[in-house]
Amino acid sequence: MNTGTCRNEQLENFSRGLSLLRNAMARSPEALGALEKEGAIRRFEYCLDTGWKAAREFLENSGLRIAPVTPREVIRQAAAAGIVANAQVWIDMFNHRTLLAHNYDGVVITEVISALATRYSPAMEKLHESLTAQAHSSGV
């Protein structure tokens, strides 16, 4: 399989996910109902997964060997390469995703929705812009 195609697929998945996340978060967090919040959380989780995987593909296609290949290590390397502005925001996203998997109260959901509106969506958008610019400049 062509690795350039693979990166393009990951970036396309990330792009689609971000579009859905934008729609889910079009209203203020306070205006979202319980089911809308649950939907936004699922979109967040999807974007988090496709975002770090798109970054991994970009880094690997740039010749970087990542070891171990974990989401956190990929984000650390992406920050070092300048495609992620603030690695700590992404680490916070991973931590929140873990909390969501083991916690069923509304407090964590409200926390994540608030962080999504103020910190997480902007960080995802910045990664997307960086990866898209790199893809266009390399002709992929």
The domains of the chain are located at 3-137
Alpha carbon 71 to its chain centroid, in Å, reads 10
What pTM does this model have? 0.90
Nearest to 3 by CA among 78, 85, 60, 75: 60
Please give the CATH topology (third level) of the domain spanning 3-137. Four Helix Bundle (Hemerythrin (Met), subunit A) (1.20.120)
Residue 140 has pLDDT above 60, yes or no: no
Q: Higher model confidence: residue 139 or residue 82?
A: 82
Distance of alpha carbon 7 from alpha carbon 2, whole angstroms: 9
Q: How far is CA 60 from CA 24, 77, 83, in A?
A: 31, 10, 13
To the nearest whole number, what is the mean pLDDT of the chain?
A: 91
pLDDT digits (tens, 9 = 90+) for 35-52: 999 999 999 999 999 999
- Contact status, residue 94 vs residue 125, Cβ threshold 8 Å: no
Torsion on CA atoms 23, 26, 32, 37, rounded to nearest 10: 40
Residue 21 has pLDDT above 50, yes or no: yes
Averaged pLDDT for residues 90-115: 91
pLDDT > 70 in the chain, percent = 94
Distance of alpha carbon 113 from alpha carbon 47, whole angstroms: 14
